[in-house]
Amino acid sequence: MMKNICFAVIFSFLLLAPVFQVTAQSSSGSSSSQTFDTTNFPQWAKDMRRWDIIAFGSFPFALFTVTFFTDLARWNNANNMNFTDEGLRYAPWPLKTTGAVEMTKEEYERTLLIAAGLSAVIAFTDLIIVKIKQSRERRRIESKPSGSVIINRIPYEAIHEEGSEDPGGTNDTGKISDIGEPGLE
């Protein structure tokens, strides 16, 4: 009965959707797309978003892993991982046969909770690693004296080909001017 009501509601929305004429974009303004700027968000919001993405992204992998190891434990408890037809009824997914014994509701709920916990642990581990890297980078930048000169190295050939001054410190006579050692004469 409930399925029929849900089906009727969904079907009516699908039929009436063209009637509502809802547009995805407003007609006012320019038609060019705008880029989303995240520079005004606080760092904690960016970190929370990253945690959220990592947690939900790792959940399917965690669920698969936990389900596999739960099936292995059930197979071991049922018949010590016996490879007979009767023993394979409890085997994990790649080895399951027809007529396999499915998990009970409690086992499935426990598997979901463990997978959710595992994905949260993965997300917290990522958050801690990122915070440590950010802290190290901030300390490295703060340890530099103010007004530090940043030197960009450019190959000698690239400068010499541009026709600029000789960066090697030699003058027109071929002598090294800063060090005082004799040059090529």
Give the pLDDT confidence of 90-110 residue by residue, as tens digits.
778 777 777 788 888 999 999
The tokens for 146 are: 């103010």
In a domain, 71, yes or no: yes
| pTM for the structure as a whole | 0.56
In a domain, 58, yes or no: yes
Give residue 125's domain range: 48-76+103-142
- Give pLDDT, residue 48: 92
- Give pLDDT, residue 175: 45
What is the number of structural domains in the chain? 1
Distance (Å, whole) CA 136 – CA 104: 48
DSSP annotation of 170: B
Question: What are the phi and psi torsion angles at 176 (to 5°)?
Answer: -80, 120
In a domain, 72, yes or no: yes
Q: Does residue 4 surpass a pLDDT of 90?
A: no
Where is pLDDT greater, at 31 or 84?
Answer: 84
In a domain, 137, yes or no: yes
The tokens for 96 are: 């399951």
In a domain, 170, yes or no: no
What's the gap between Cα 116 and its chain centre?
Answer: 17
Distance (Å, whole) CA 123 – CA 50: 8
In a domain, 116, yes or no: yes
Quote the crossing angle between the two packed helices 43-79 and 105-143, to the nearest 10°.
140
Give the pLDDT confidence of 38-85 residue by residue, as tens digits.
778 888 889 999 999 999 999 999 999 999 999 888 888 888 877 777
Residue (of 61, 78, 55, 71) closest to 110 by Cα position: 71
Cα angle at 49 between 48 and 55, to 5 degrees?
Answer: 85
In a domain, 115, yes or no: yes
In a domain, 98, yes or no: no
Q: Does residue 180 surpass a pLDDT of 50?
A: no
- Give pLDDT, residue 163: 56
